[in-house]
Amino acid sequence: MNQNLHKDLIVVDGLQYSNWNRHIFEQLREGGVTMVHVTIVYHEQIRETLLRIAEWNRHFEYNRDLIMPVKSAEDIRRAKALGKVGIMFGAQNCSPIEDDIGMVEVMRELNLMIMQLTYNNQSLLACGCYEAEDSGVTRFGKQAIREMNRVGMVIDMSHSGERSTLDAIELSERPIVISHANPTSFHAAKRNKSDTVLKALGESGGLLGFSLYPFHLKNGSDCTLEEFCDMVASTADLMGVEHIGIGTDLCQEQPLSVLEWMRNGRWSKEMDYGEGSKSNADWPRPLSWFRDSRDFPNLTAGLQARGFSDEDVARIMGRNWLNFLEDALQPQ
């Protein structure tokens, strides 16, 4: 086993939403993370999104020795060469464009690189995974997909329902991502994805980022590294190893109020439990082998121990994301 493999890798985390500060940036660098796709908004609309971008501008100014913005795949390589952590902006809902197709290009010009069409609920664009009926991608959604393809904004269907996700894969002229989810066959959470979806995603050239959020894992917080790597191996067999990566869904140092905002936004006065269980009413206990970004080397070691070649470990830990973004972020 190559003990030094991790430090040489380009490591990409396909999604985090942390209470960003210098300490967390230092953890990312210590864990060897080259780039992280950060959620800057959930239900925030245009003005609030601009305020989040302004906050990030200050992060970049005050922590320029640690982090840098990512606007292209080349920036990811540059971050690796400079020993910095690249930051790529994403949205977990379509709220930043409100009901205006023109905002897709505006937000892309402000470096919003990835956008989910839905977050659990029906949106103006598509249907979320917690709705009883999935009506698929809407008329506006079809136009938004076309525009996202044109400007080089990646479509993310992590929180979307089955029909909507399959619609997006079919409608999009460019491959899409599911940045943070796992196979339903591993754990039957509503947020996880069926083999039908995963096969279609792989065949279309798309990418799945495996989630380390305990509610998405078999045995929850007690899921072992070996079980996680078994899931990765079986999904590689299903989709092809070139179509899988990591999207931890790590939410570091966030208060409970943020969990409530993620789930409730402004649409509900009561705590939304999604699948009806109050057992997920608070942040889950972290995995013993992945408490924060400093534990990324454990993933590399786990995949090596599972029998993946160094080449395939490099793909899963970041190169697949890099290869995907090489084309996906280019305007047409």
298-323 pLDDT, tens digit per residue, is 999 999 999 999 999 999 999 999 99
Quick count: other Cβ atoms within 10 Å of Cβ 138? 18
Mean pLDDT within 228-233:
98
Among 70-79, 91-100, 236-245, 248-257, the least confident range: 248-257
CA within 13 Å, CB half, 100: 10
Comparing CA positions, the residue from 194, 130, 188 lying closest to residue 159 is 130
- Residue 183, classed as helix, strand or coil, is strand
Is residue 205 predicted with pLDDT exceeding 90?
yes
Is residue 72 predicted with pLDDT exceeding 60?
yes
Is residue 279 predicted with pLDDT exceeding 80?
no
Cα separations in angstroms, 311 against 33, 78, 149, 209, 331? 18, 21, 30, 18, 30
Mean pLDDT within 4-21:
96
Complete domains list, the chain, with CATH: 13-95+177-328 (3.20.20.140)
Is residue 244 predicted with pLDDT exceeding 60?
yes
Mean pLDDT, the chain, whole residue set: 95
**Structure tokens of 283?**
């942040």
Which residues have C-beta within 8 Å of that of residue 282, sequence separation ≥ 6? 256, 259
How does pLDDT run across 252-274, given as a tens digit for each residue? Answer: 888 788 888 878 888 888 888 76
Confidence at residue 260, expressed as pLDDT on a 0 to 100 scale: 86
* Helices and strands, number each (H, E), in the chain: 13, 9
